[in-house]
């Protein structure tokens, strides 16, 4: 349920056009409405928080949610959103690495795995 709320708050996974500066000074906006740039950031932050609630398990809602979040990491999103999404996805793979092949991978469809494959990150070899 909550993932759908945050996805609707974030809106489509494409960058929204910035309002022109000449129109912003002449038009008055109500103080109760959040700025348009705040909505996708708030929705993505909510999705990141939901994913962080299950660091070592994969509930039934998680594959769809994390795949939807991965769409926000595309190159048309602002840098702050892309960095948050990439950091979340890399942290997800780090915390699920131990049981990935045995139990977690089975919760995802092939299409979802293909969408997430880009964000697995590279292993680091520090001694």
Answer whether 0.85 is exceeded by the pTM.
Answer: no
- Residue scoring higher pLDDT (35 or 119): 119
Residue 28 lies inside a defined structural domain of this protein: no
Residue 53 lies inside a defined structural domain of this protein: yes
pLDDT value of residue 12: 61
Residue 123 lies inside a defined structural domain of this protein: no
pLDDT digits (tens, 9 = 90+) for 74-86: 757 778 888 888 8
pLDDT value of residue 114: 85
pLDDT value of residue 27: 42
> What is the average per-residue pLDDT within 90-97?
88
pLDDT digits (tens, 9 = 90+) for 13-70: 654 445 555 544 444 443 345 555 457 777 888 889 889 998 888 999 999 888 888 8
Q: How many domains does the chain have?
A: 1
- Residue scoring higher pLDDT (22 or 99): 99
pLDDT value of residue 16: 46
Q: Is 7:47 a contact under the CB 8 Å cutoff?
A: yes
Which two structure tokens, joined as six digits, stand for 11? 């809106």
Structural domain boundaries, residue 49: 2-11+35-117
């Amino acid at each position: 349920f909550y993932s759908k709320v945050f996805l609707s708050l974030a809106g489509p996974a494409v960058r929204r056009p910035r309002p022109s500066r000449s129109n912003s000074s002449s038009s008055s906006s109500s103080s109760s409405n959040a700025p348009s740039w705040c909505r996708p950031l708030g929705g993505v932050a909510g999705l990141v928080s939901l994913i962080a609630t299950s660091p070592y398990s994969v509930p039934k809602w998680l594959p769809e949610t994390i795949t939807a979040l991965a769409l926000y990491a595309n190159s048309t999103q602002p840098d702050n959103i892309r960095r948050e999404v990439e950091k979340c996805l890399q942290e997800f793979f780090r915390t699920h690495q131990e049981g990935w092949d045995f139990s977690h991978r089975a919760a995802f469809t092939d299409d979802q795995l293909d969408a997430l494959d880009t964000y697995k990150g590279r292993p680091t070899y520090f001694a």
